[in-house]
Amino acid sequence: MKERPRVITIDGPAGSGKTTVARMLARHLGYGLLESGTLYRALTWLLVTQDPEALSGGDPSRMLRSIQEHLPRFSFELGSEGLRISFGSRRLQEELRLPEVERRVSAVAAIPEVRNLVNDILKRLAGKGPVVAEGRDMGSVVFPEAPYKFFLSASPEVRARRRYLEWRAKGISVSEEEVLRDIKARDERDSSRSTAPLSIPEGARVIDTSQLSPQEVLRVILRELFSSHP
């Protein structure tokens, strides 16, 4: 790595470990951490709490109108530990990882106008400093010019196990079988949607994290960063 790139992207499916690894990398490099999933979850949480009928009705136009109406109430702050998102005076944290948000976020993220809105926010935030950008289409759509791109993968069973343990540690009651069903359903939705489907970005280094700890994945990425010369 001859000079510090403005953007490093890490993409992958749910439960692949990309959020944990991206946070570790941002902390190691002193970069901001830009998480597209956090933004999509925040907008999904908004609909769950402010306009649940829009979600249950599956009306993209109504969902978009509701998001646009409430968007000014959000504030976003970039840091190495991730985006700090507030809705009015309320800081959003654990709310964004609730199962009801996880189950519905793909439907919200599939709306082209919502993706355009989120991408504009991501690009604006990235302009504030060097960032590790983590999500599902960071290297393919949002920052295709990034000199360093990584794509993390793992089997559905491994990813479901990780998510199940995460939720259980937070006191969320859910079975591992249910989590696996949700993971597989989300994979199908994310990879088959017409707008920005989940895919490996051109030029990305693919890392299977199934048998690797987050620290081991970080070491692989750091070796790539400091031994290559884009």
Q: Is 195 annotated as a binding residue?
A: no
Q: Is 19 annotated as a binding residue?
A: yes
Q: Is 79 annotated as a binding residue?
A: no
Q: Is 16 annotated as a binding residue?
A: yes
Query: How many angstroms separate the Cα of 140 from the Cα of each of 5, 68, 96, 198, 206?
Result: 17, 25, 25, 9, 13
Q: Is 13 annotated as a binding residue?
A: yes
Where residue 14 falls (left for φ over 0; alpha for ψ -120 to 50; beta otherwise) is beta
Query: How many angstroms separate the Cα of 98 from the Cα of each of 29, 42, 104, 141, 147?
Result: 30, 11, 10, 27, 34
Q: Is 185 annotated as a binding residue?
A: no
Q: Is 18 annotated as a binding residue?
A: yes
Q: Report the Cα–Cα distance between both ends of the chain, in Å, rounded.
A: 8
Tokens read off for 214: 């987050």
Contact 150, 205 (CB under 8 A): yes
Q: Is 58 annotated as a binding residue?
A: no
Q: Is 37 annotated as a binding residue?
A: no
Binding residues: 12-20
Binding residues for ATP: 12-20
